[in-house]
Structure 1
């Protein structure tokens, strides 16, 4: 698999925040010579703070602001010499929750900025991309403005079908990375032959990735905390993991790494696949 097309969701914001949110996806597009389909629209009702006070920006000014962001994104893509298309909210005649998922179906990778405290609109768009597109989704924290592809990758491996899809979706990125560490929480579940993280590292090595295995313990903080601690210790700049949507009762009783991630917001760029 190669990354030939990136579906990029851009949330209208200050131009500085927009530049930060598109730095990594544009670096990926450059590294892979990928086409970028940039979708510029607010996931929910967006009200940038007006220059002179606390009143809400009128709808006409809001639309003008979004148009300005669209032109700004177009200029950034042109400056980098990328192949691209840019579409604003007037291009869509249906709900914004479906827009990114639909574009991802005809792309190799979806990307959006997503952090802690994301409102219901952004959660809706992210969930659509992750669970309805059939493609991997890269969530980038708003504070992450690195303009280079990831070099140290952590793979959260539990042998689930979602983890398999995430690994294969991330292969083009892992093959270019300086290191790939496969992490399994060994006291969380048993792995049969063919499911082991060691065997996965062999597969990744055959694809050209510099892969190694690291077992970790679940501990009192749970699976999510164990994985994030391992990522921090490895100074990882990309986390790869499967995304699973459980029933609410299951989440309440057993917990869910996916819901923990969406509730708390990723602390580093995270590629998810369902």
Structure 2
């Protein structure tokens, strides 16, 4: 698998926040020679038409200067809700990219949920204060042998093949995780895909699964985490907790590729 088409969301705005929203998709498009489909719209509240037009113009100018193929779609292109529209475009792309920090706002949360669970494609969630400026050199995979984790790993293969090192992490003492094929077996599979991978088990700790993964990524110097996304019924979330919910609530500390 290679990445030929990237769908990204651009939040209208000014300055660093706007720049951060297309830093990662443009850098990845350059690395793979990929086409970019950029959807420009506000996720929470109404952005003025002038703000959207300004963001779209800056996007086109930047793409042209960098020699990138970029299709820009503004609000006039949307007949349905923004989450549904983004997921629909993502279905005919290879990768989705969203810049999102603390995802407390309902519009941002709806966009992330639609992209992760309704598109069938991997989604890269990038924190605005730490956007990817190129392909990551080190990647951490959150492995629990679930179908979502499998989809995330295969969606991440274009990244993994280009990384210097991939660390497969299983969080121990986590009741959400079930026994399954080990990370060591996954490392053998990835080796057949020309991926340099090793396995590590890490304790759950008090901060939860996402905090344990962040700590492992920080120790390894990894710029990206790969994890499956699971949508539970609300009651199960309350009783058991959810790593996916933690990610959506707190926002990622580093680029995180998810697949549902």
Q: Using structure 1 for the length normalisation, give the TM-score.
A: 0.91
Query: 1:185 Cα shift?
Result: 1.4
Aligned match of 2:254 = 268
Verify the 8 A CA contact 1:242 1:272 in the aligned structure 2.
yes
CA RMSD of superposed structures (Å): 1.3
Verify the 8 A CA contact 1:24 1:149 in the aligned structure 2.
no
Q: Using structure 2 for the length normalisation, give the TM-score.
A: 0.95
Verify the 8 A CA contact 2:103 2:109 in the aligned structure 1.
no
Verify the 8 A CA contact 1:15 1:69 in the aligned structure 2.
no
**Aligned partners of 2:255 and 2:183: how far apart in 1?**
22
> Which structure is larger by alpha-carbon Rg, 1 or 2?
1
2:57 to 63, 71, 92: 71
The number of aligned residues is 258
Verify the 8 A CA contact 2:142 2:227 in the aligned structure 1.
yes
Secondary structure, counterpart of 2:206 in structure 1: coil
Task: List alignment gaps of at least 5 residues for structure 2.
Answer: none
Aligned match of 1:8 = 8
Aligned match of 1:191 = 179
Relative distance call for 1:241 and 1:117 in structure 2 (3 A) is closer
Aligned match of 2:207 = 221
**Aligned partners of 2:73 and 2:242: how far apart in 1?**
35
Matches within 5 A, 1:221-240: 221-240=207-226
**Aligned partners of 1:142 and 1:118: how far apart in 2?**
15
Aligned match of 2:17 = 17
Task: List alignment gaps of at least 5 residues for structure 1.
Answer: 48-61
Structure 1 outlier segments of 4+, above 3 Å:
none
Give per-residue Cα distances to partners, 1:37-91, cap 9 Å, x unaligned.
01111112145xxxxxxxxxxxxxx101110110100111111111121110111
Aligned match of 1:44 = 44
